[in-house]
């Protein structure tokens, strides 16, 4: 039974500590849209999305008003298009046409983003998947709300290094085609290892083939709430710090569960999962970096940062798991540089480097996220950065990702401006020694031995 004290506490979290539900994401299966005729395929996709998601935004706004809970984004994820387009798509232009169809459908129903222009060549790459991947630069340049992801490896299969090499080239091309917007296309493109089927967060969201026809997944976020809570235990032992984070994560996740169940009931769509991830925004007071600094770090990136992030990530999961029947997605702490003003400040002063961020990804939820680098960075260097991050995910049996932006025409010390929740960020230094001989070998890095647990 909810009492008046809990109501007051939640209202304070929303009004003063920037608590919000970051996204309601409606997953839509497009498997029944498959056709070998392009006209039929695109018509099926448009009709399926606009019919299924016609009330998504309206219901989200109703829940916001009735419960006074901010719901920042309403989004859609679809079955990976590399599977859906395999029969009909014979050229990259065919896949670009599907991307435009997805964008039109997203505009029609009023969602912020639509994810699933995706391929999953973790072990091998089909001709269809290769065509989709090669279409990504143009697809992201000519659409507004479409997001793309490519899963390049897993703990079970190893790392597809042919796809890793190709994605370095694709990211460079995407940056060039959106150079007039500080290479914004790359902010809508992420590569992953061990991608989950139920992630509600962009740009990596797609509806996996293990999912139902439709599903509601919700992502909650409360960096400001966690930071406020730990202000009260400054200087206290780690046990007390951990308890504080767990209790607060529990309260944040209960809100997400409420919204997920309400959206599910009103839309007549099954409730999938609550993603516990702490997702920052560029606003002051909504920062993962501030949480870590409240723990006792002078600046994020200094010694102790990885340990502090590991503690935060683990306690958020421990608290959140008790609050929801179904937890999934990524669930933990995001560390996107351009979307977190504390991360931006640390990167500007040189305390936070690309190498330190890589170390932090060993213990956080995702990986190298929203990092702007010099436009002159080579495709092979980008592939090397991707390969390193995929290896961390593969060996540690966790999801890792790279969303990196080589900003055309800009160099270290300059700033890239992406706007909105994507924020802005300093161009970070990249190690310029070449890894081309390694990346060019081709083939696949084998899965680690523990992958044979069947």
Q: What band does 339 get if pLDDT is binned at 50, 70 and 90?
A: confident
Token digits of residue 452: 């044979």
- pLDDT over 90 (residue 340): no
Distance CA 148, CA 345 (A): 28
Query: In this structure, is residue 43 part of a structural domain?
Result: yes
- CATH value at residue 67: 3.20.70.20
- pLDDT over 70 (residue 451): no
Token digits of residue 27: 């997953």
- Residues 254 and 138 placed together within one structural domain of the fold: no
- Residues 272 and 333 placed together within one structural domain of the fold: yes
Query: In this structure, is residue 244 part of a structural domain?
Result: yes
Tell me what the mean pLDDT of segment 93-105 comes to. 97
Query: In this structure, is residue 323 part of a structural domain?
Result: yes
- Residues 189 and 231 placed together within one structural domain of the fold: no
Q: What band does 453 get if pLDDT is binned at 50, 70 and 90?
A: low
- pLDDT over 80 (residue 2): no
List of residues 6+ apart from 124 with CB closer than 8 A? 160, 444
Comparing 266 with 5, the larger pLDDT belongs to: 266
Q: What band does 269 get if pLDDT is binned at 50, 70 and 90?
A: very high
- Residues 164 and 105 placed together within one structural domain of the fold: yes
Comparing 262 with 80, the larger pLDDT belongs to: 80
Percent of the chain with pLDDT over 90: 58
CB-side neighbour CA atoms (13 Å) of 88: 23
Tell me what the mean pLDDT of segment 327-355 comes to. 85
Query: In this structure, is residue 46 part of a structural domain?
Result: yes
Q: What is the pLDDT of residue 251?
A: 82
- Residues 321 and 362 placed together within one structural domain of the fold: yes
List of residues 6+ apart from 185 with CB closer than 8 A? 137, 140, 141, 174, 175, 177, 178
Distance CA 223, CA 196 (A): 23
Query: In this structure, is residue 432 part of a structural domain?
Result: yes
Tell me what the mean pLDDT of segment 94-107 comes to. 97
- pLDDT over 70 (residue 10): no
- Residues 186 and 239 placed together within one structural domain of the fold: no
Tell me what the mean pLDDT of segment 39-61 comes to. 94
| Structural domain boundaries enclosing 226 | 218-446
Q: How many domains does the chain have?
A: 2
Q: What is the pLDDT of residue 322?
A: 82
pLDDT tens digits, 156-203: 999 999 999 999 999 999 999 999 998 999 999 999 999 989 888 888
DSSP three-state, residue 229: helix
- Residues 232 and 324 placed together within one structural domain of the fold: yes
Q: What is the pLDDT of residue 277?
A: 81
Percent of the chain with pLDDT over 70: 94
- pLDDT over 90 (residue 273): no
User: Which residue among 145, 160, 193 closes a domain?
Assistant: 193
Question: Could you tell me the maximum CA-CA distance found in the chain, to the nearest angstrom?
Answer: 65
DSSP three-state, residue 150: strand
Q: What is the pLDDT of residue 23?
A: 85
Kindly report the pTM of this predicted structure: 0.91
Distance CA 20, CA 69 (A): 6
- Residues 105 and 254 placed together within one structural domain of the fold: no
Distance CA 63, CA 202 (A): 22
- Residues 183 and 233 placed together within one structural domain of the fold: no
- pLDDT over 80 (residue 233): yes
Tell me what the mean pLDDT of segment 284-301 comes to. 88
Tell me what the mean pLDDT of segment 330-349 comes to. 84
Task: Quote the mean pLDDT of the chain.
Answer: 89
Query: In this structure, is residue 320 part of a structural domain?
Result: yes
Q: What is the pLDDT of residue 4?
A: 42
- Residues 223 and 189 placed together within one structural domain of the fold: no
Query: In this structure, is residue 3 part of a structural domain?
Result: no
pLDDT tens digits, 359-415: 999 888 788 988 999 999 999 999 999 999 999 999 998 999 999 999 999 999 898
**What does the angle CA 135 – CA 199 – CA 33 come to, to the nearest 5 degrees?**
55
- pLDDT over 70 (residue 6): no
- Residues 90 and 234 placed together within one structural domain of the fold: no
Q: What is the pLDDT of residue 7?
A: 46
- pLDDT over 70 (residue 300): yes
Q: What is the pLDDT of residue 12?
A: 60
Query: In this structure, is residue 116 part of a structural domain?
Result: yes
- Residues 167 and 234 placed together within one structural domain of the fold: no
């Amino acid at each position: 039974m909810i009492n008046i004290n809990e109501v007051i506490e939640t209202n304070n979290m929303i009004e003063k500590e920037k608590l919000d539900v970051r996204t309601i994401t409606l997953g839509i299966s497009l498997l029944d849209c498959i056709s070998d005729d392009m006209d039929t395929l695109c018509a099926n996709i448009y009709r399926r999305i606009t019919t299924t998601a016609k009330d998504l935004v309206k219901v989200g706004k109703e829940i916001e008003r009735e419960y006074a809970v901010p719901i920042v984004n309403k989004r859609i994820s679809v079955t990976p298009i590399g599977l859906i387009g395999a029969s009909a798509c014979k050229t990259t232009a065919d896949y670009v046409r599907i991307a435009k169809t997805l964008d039109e459908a997203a505009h029609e129903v009023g969602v912020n983003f639509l994810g699933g222009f995706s391929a999953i060549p973790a072990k091998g790459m089909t001709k269809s998947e290769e065509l989709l991947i090669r279409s990504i630069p143009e697809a992201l340049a000519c659409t507004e709300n479409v997001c793309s992801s490519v899963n390049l490896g897993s703990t079970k299969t190893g790392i597809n290094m042919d796809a890793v090499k190709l994605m370095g080239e694709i990211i460079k091309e995407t940056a060039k085609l959106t150079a007039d917007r500080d290479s914004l296309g790359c902010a809508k493109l992420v590569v992953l290892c061990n991608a989950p089927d139920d992630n509600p967060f962009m740009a990596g969201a797609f509806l996996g083939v293990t999912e139902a026809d439709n599903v509601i997944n919700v992502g909650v976020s409360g960096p400001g709430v966690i930071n406020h809570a730990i202000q009260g235990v400054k200087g206290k032992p780690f046990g007390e710090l951990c308890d504080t984070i767990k209790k607060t994560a529990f309260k944040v996740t209960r809100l997400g569960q409420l919204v997920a169940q309400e959206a599910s009931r009103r839309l007549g769509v099954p409730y999938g999962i609550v993603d516990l991830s702490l997702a920052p925004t560029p606003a002051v007071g909504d920062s993962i970096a501030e949480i870590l600094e409240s723990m006792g770090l002078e600046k994020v990136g200094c010694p102790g940062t990885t340990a502090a992030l590991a503690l935060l990530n683990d306690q958020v999961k421990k608290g959140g798991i008790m609050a929801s029947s179904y937890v999934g997605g990524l669930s933990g702490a995001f560390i996107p540089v351009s979307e977190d003003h504390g991360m931006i400040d640390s990167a500007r002063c040189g305390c936070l480097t690309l190498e330190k961020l890589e170390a932090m990804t060993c213990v956080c939820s995702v990986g190298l996220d929203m990092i702007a680098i010099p436009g002159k960075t080579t495709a092979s260097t980008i592939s090397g950065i991707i390969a390193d991050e995929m290896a961390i995910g593969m060996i540690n049996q966790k999801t890792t990702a790279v969303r990196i932006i080589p900003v055309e025409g800009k160099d270290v010390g300059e700033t890239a401006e992406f706007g909105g929740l994507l924020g802005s960020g300093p161009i970070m230094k990249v190690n310029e020694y070449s890894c081309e001989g390694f990346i060019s070998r081709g083939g696949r890095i084998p899965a680690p031995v523990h992958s044979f647990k069947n």
